[in-house]
Structure 1
Amino acid sequence: MNKKKPKILAVLVNYGTEQIQYLEQVIKELKSFSKYDVTVIVNSNIDLNIKGIDKVEIFKLDDYQLLPLTCRNTIWNNKQFYDIFLYGENDLLFEEKHIDNHLIYSSFLPKNRIAGLLRYEEDADGKYYPDYHANFEWDFNSVEIYGGKKFAHFTNLHQATFILTKEQLQDLGKKIKFNQLYTDSFSGYIELTKRKISQKLGIKIKRTTLYSEIYSKKCRVNTDIFKYGGKKKIICITDFDQNLIHHLSNVYINGLKGRNKLRSDEARMRNSIKKLLK
């Protein structure tokens, strides 16, 4: 008797028509998985007619920064019916190896750790890592070994995706309201407390950078999971190349619509990985 394939629910977000060609590529790849039964739902502001989509959910919102959040709600509403859950923006190329690796790592990682990915873009000159910018950096003191593999923490939590097992999703639901964005209420409390101490002692205390100042609402759809879900995001550096996910649109390399960043090139990343592996 054939063993049933694990059931994946992939919920993708799409806005407008700008990146339809990438969405088509992402869906085609998801539907090519051989070891998993994949259902694809796309939450969009427009109707879509793309082969491989099982369901399109259309949303009309006043603030389309909140469109990605509808994906977390869709996942939560279907938490009993699938074994693995994916969220992604419409230009992130999930490959079957990402799921394979996530399940392998989850089998031996502690419950308070969760495997993450790192986005890359690519052109004729090589790979670039758009999340490796500003003050974001590897935590070079964070290397941990599990299952004979080395893992490390990258301080930029944003990867525009997440992969969760059913157990991980249930655990997260005990820590955060999964279908709501995390607010700055706790950070705001710290800020108020520091201000009171400053006034009382007559000294200046540097203000806290609020979570919402680092990550936009659409970014927090995935960063909430890693920051407030009780599971530290770590990336397997032993299998580094296997834990990269392609940002197909290359918007940061090309600087489209002002989205250029001080991105990391391949040399900087490889030097950092060598340092971590030592």
Structure 2
Amino acid sequence: MYSNYKIEVHINFLLGKNYLNRINFLRKIIVSYKKISKNLDIFIHINKKLLNKYKIKDVNYILHNLSLEDPYLLSWKSRKLIYEQKDIYDVFIYSEDDILFTKNNFDYWINFKDICIKNNFNLGFIRVEKNNNKIYSIDVTTQLNKYLIINNNRFIVNDINPYCAFWIYDRQELNKFINSNIWNFNWRNEFSYGVREMSAIGWHGLKMTRYKDTLIPLAKSNKKKYIVNLDSLIYHLTGNYYSVHKLEGKKSRINNLVDENQLKYNNTYKNYYFFKLKFKNNYYIYLMSNFFKKIKKFLII
């Protein structure tokens, strides 16, 4: 289906005090990526030299000197190279160093991304951790309760928190992203994300203007209740959000993430809000142009 696609993966690997413990996670992540395609290249961005014995084979390591900068700015250093590669690859992935992305995740993205993009939505993923054989959502801990049907596919709307510490775009979307006001590290901090999180949210954060919202396709569980498509789950290997699981309890369990009493998504209102946000100061011009298109046939010129 995508054997001819050229895929690139950029991973941000900050060498801090405990980086040796994280290398095992990184190895597992690399093995998983290599199962997706033979036409896949991996670039790991580091802030300090890494001894050869810790390096992973067939991976490109790129060293960035951050001695005079905030170490968290490492998360932005890959963008220069991604920009240079924008016409070389077909699929672009950026990720933190503890996110397990699988072939099933990639197939899910291939299957649903176009229908979402065509309707100005982002296809979402849910970042999860496993604890005591139970799967917990760590970014969305409130039930999702709005649904939308597109081409006979039922989606739940994640308008709570679409963050999942990685992003994936095809070439067309990436080039639009590059030309947006979000691509470079020169934005005002109006999105409530930190430095690393702002890089890892990509172009689908709350209050951003590319997508109306983030959608996740629904499936039915054995108990005939709606759950998110399980191929949308990406695992956070560090597993350090256990306190969230204890605090939220059953509410953050993946089987309870979708509210059974869903409300139909108000697409008409969202279109209004989306275009208002997108055009901002030019919104009046947009409204007037749309108005004149509608009344043009009644005008005598």
- 1:204 aligned residue: none
Q: In the TM superposition, what are the counterparts of 1:26-105 in structure 2 within 5 Å?
A: 26-34=29-37, 37-48=39-50, 49=52, 50-61=55-66, 62-105=69-112
Compared with structure 1, are the counterparts of its residues 59 and 264 closer, same or farther at alpha carbon in structure 2 (3 Å cutoff)? farther
Task: Give percent identity, aligned residues only.
Answer: 21
**Cα deviations by residue, 1:97-155 (Å, 9 ceiling, x for unpaired):** 2121112112322251121211111122411221134xxx35523x2122432222321
- Separation in 2 of the partners of 1:104 and 1:268? 25
Q: Which has the higher contact order (CA 8 A, sep 6+)?
A: 1
One-letter code aligned to 2:235 = H
Separation in structure 1 between the aligned mates of residue 42 and residue 86 of structure 2, nearest angstrom:
14
- TM-score (normalised: structure 2): 0.71
2:260 matched residue in structure 1: 275
CA distance in 2, matches of 1:235, 1:67: 30
Contact 1:6 1:84 in 2 (8 A): yes
Counterpart code for 2:210:
G
Among candidates 190, 204, 210, match of residue 230 of structure 1? 210
Q: How does 1:143-158 map to 2 (within 5 A)?
A: 143-154=147-158, 155-158=160-163
Q: Secondary structure at the match of 1:5?
A: coil
**Quick one: distance in 2 between partners of 1:271 and 1:59?**
42
RMSD: 2.6
1:250 aligns with 2:232: no
Deviation of 1:181 after TM superposition, in Å, equals 5.4
**For residue 165 of structure 1, what is the aligned residue in structure 2?**
170
Cα deviation for residue 27 of structure 1 reads 0.7
Provide the C-alpha distance between the structure 2 equivalents of 1:98 and 1:178, rounded to a whole number of angstroms: 25
Change (3 A) 1:265 1:216: farther
Q: Distance in 1 between matches of 2:150 and 2:85?
A: 31
Distance change >3 Å, CA 247–CA 47, structure 1 → 2:
same
1:24 aligns with 2:27: yes
Using a 3 Å threshold, how does the CA distance of structure 1 residues 236 and 59 change in structure 2: closer, same or farther? same
Runs in 1 of length 4+ with deviation above 4 angstroms? Answer: 263-268
Q: Write the distance in 2 (CA, Å) between the matches of 1:264 and 1:165.
A: 36
Q: Which moved more, 1:123-132 or 1:244-253?
A: 123-132
Q: Give deviations 1:173-194, integer Å, cap 9, x for gaps.
A: 333342325323xx4xxxxxxx
Q: Secondary structure at the match of 1:51?
A: coil
Seen in structure 2, the aligned counterparts of structure 1 residues 173 and 229 have a Cα distance that, compared at 3 Å, is farther
SS at match of 2:169: strand
**What SS class does the counterpart of residue 226 from structure 1 fall into?**
coil
SS at match of 1:219: helix
Paired with 1:271 and 1:164, the residues of 2 have a C-alpha distance of: 29
Contact 1:121–1:250 (Cα < 8 Å) also in 2: yes
Inter-partner Cα distance in structure 1 for 2:186 and 2:148:
30
Structure 1, unpaired ranges of 5+: 188-210
Count how many residue pairs are aligned between Structure 1 and Structure 2.
240
Contact 2:9 2:92 in 1 (8 A): yes
> Does the residue aligned with 1:175 lie in a helix, a strand or coil?
coil
- Asked if the contact 1:92/1:245 (under 8 Å) is kept, the reply is yes
> Measured at CA, do residues 182 and 42 of structure 1 come closer, stay the same or move farther in structure 2, by a change above 3 Å?
same
CA change 1:97–1:175 in 2 (3 A) is: same
**Superposition deviation, residue 266 in structure 1:** 6.8
Alignment of 1:113-192 (within 5 A): 113-133=121-141, 137-141=142-146, 143-154=147-158, 155-180=160-185, 182-184=187-189, 187=190
Q: Provide the C-alpha distance between the structure 1 equivalents of 2:25 and 2:97, rounded to a whole number of angstroms.
A: 7
